[in-house]
Amino acid sequence: MAELTAGTWSYDSAHSEVGFTVRHAGITKVRGTFDQVDAQLVIAENIAESTIKATAQIASVNTNNADRDGHLRSADFFDADTHAAMTFESTSFDLDGEDLTIAGNLTIKGETRPVTFTGEFTGAVVDAFGATRAGASLSATISRKDFGITWNAAVEAGGVLVSDKVVINLDVAFTAPEA
């Protein structure tokens, strides 16, 4: 296994996914991704001092349903015309073996809240082309209401169309700085 060398690692969008899951009508889960994401991972000599900054373009939301994606971009949800991106900036970075916890500030629709992502550091390897890659799989659960996303509709049998709880799922890869 390769090492996490100090320096600025580049986000590998071709091998990464930033997604979300939300319960719909109380019976199913709808999944989506943000297809335009950029991130910068700075690995420090002391791993606990490492940082990450990420930006996802709201217009790139993709649930494989054009009508729903348009509604998500509207003022009812993300308001992409006013708030073009959501951002995350870490405040702490804890790697203990494979256990990874990254806390930071998530900003969606102009509202910033602390969020903690937990999951697995999946390793670092030198690929077939000589590049060093590192990956992680992380998730966090947020309340969309905390970010001013409150649109909903009642369901005839009781409950609401869109749950408040949203799970953000990150499966991300980064490439090491060139030596």
Nearest to 138 by CA among 9, 7, 20, 4: 20
Q: Is the dihedral of CA 160, 161, 166, 169 positive or negative?
A: positive
pLDDT tens per residue across all 179 residues of the chain: 668 889 999 999 999 999 998 877 656 788 999 999 999 999 999 999 999 999 999 999 999 999 989 989 999 889 999 999 999 999 999 999 999 999 999 999 999 999 999 999 998 888 888 889 999 999 999 988 999 887 655 666 665 556 678 899 999 999 998 76
Q: pLDDT at position 130, please?
A: 85
pLDDT given at position 162: 63
Residue 10's DSSP bridge partners are: 40, 175
Which pTM does this prediction carry? 0.91
pLDDT at 137: 97
- State the DSSP H helix or E strand holding residue 21, giving kind and residue range, or none if neither: strand 17-24
Contacts of 166 (CB under 8 A, 6+ apart): 20, 21, 22, 141, 142, 143, 144
| Helices of type H across the chain | 66-73
All residues at 6 or more sequence positions from 74 whose CB lies less than 8 Å from its CB, including other chains: 80
> Which among 117, 125, 97, 90 is positioned nearest to 5, based on CA atoms?
125
Please tell me the predicted confidence (pLDDT) of residue 23.
75
